[in-house]
Amino acid sequence: MSQITTCTFFKVCSFSDKWWAFKQMQLGHFSMKKVSGLSFYKIMGSGAKNGFSAIPNFGSYVLLCVWESENYAKDFFDNNEFYETYSKRSCEKLTVYLNAAESHGLWDKTKPFIKNAKLQSDKPVLVLTRAKIRFRKLFSFWSKVGSVSHTLTNYDGLVLSIGIGEWPLIQQATLSLWKTQSEMMDYAYKNEKHKEVVLLTRKLNWYSEELFARFVPYKFEGTWNGKSIQL
């Protein structure tokens, strides 16, 4: 069996569905802990505006899962009651299937991703960055990260980007999907705001724990913002 990762984006529209989804960031653990073949998962909310904000967005959520094989993922999406309820309460959803190509660092003191794919410069890539921010560094971090997020808007090669988190302000992650690895690298190493924040991360010691991973996406199911994704 070969490990895969899935990332499901949910958009909820009505007040009751937003309240239900918000509560699932805690209550959903009762259901997810019982799922067969699931080695790691996170139920996360998102930020307002373009996602990279200290202000929460109560309309978008993300379920990230690491599976022992795709068969376990398929069984979950086809038969799991919690997922079925979440889907019915969502006005839109998108699931991305991924193979890990690179992973550095820890998430809750674990290494959840097993590398089983290779990146290619002319092929799509999904990038995950995750960090636990030191409490005394919160103001410094949030005063800088917003300027980076603005530079992502309409950036060539970017398909989707969202700021997500397990807890507001402190435990944060970003997901970005790119048309090609080369376009992502161009942004990472040539964008001045992004380079500045990378340097400040080390200089100011913002994080008590961090993880960086790149994935090769190989399947998309659903839509986001009314559009299907085909790369």
Average pLDDT (53-63) is 82
- Full DSSP string of 144-191: HHHHHHHHHTT-TTEEEEEEEEEETTTEEEEEEEES-HHHHHHHHHH-
Res. 75 pLDDT band, cuts 50 70 90: very high
pLDDT mean across residues, the chain: 85
Alpha helices, H only, 28-161: 29-32, 70-79, 81-89, 138-152
Amino acid at 29: H
Predicted confidence (pLDDT) at residue 229 exceeds the cutoff of 80: yes
Average pLDDT (191-208) is 60
β-pair partners for 162:
175
Q: Give pLDDT, residue 59.
A: 93
Average pLDDT (132-155) is 62
CA distance 174 to 188: 14
The three-point CA angle 184-186-189 to 5° equals: 105
Predicted confidence (pLDDT) at residue 164 exceeds the cutoff of 60: yes
Express each pLDDT in 89-115 by its tens digit: 999 999 999 999 999 999 999 999 999
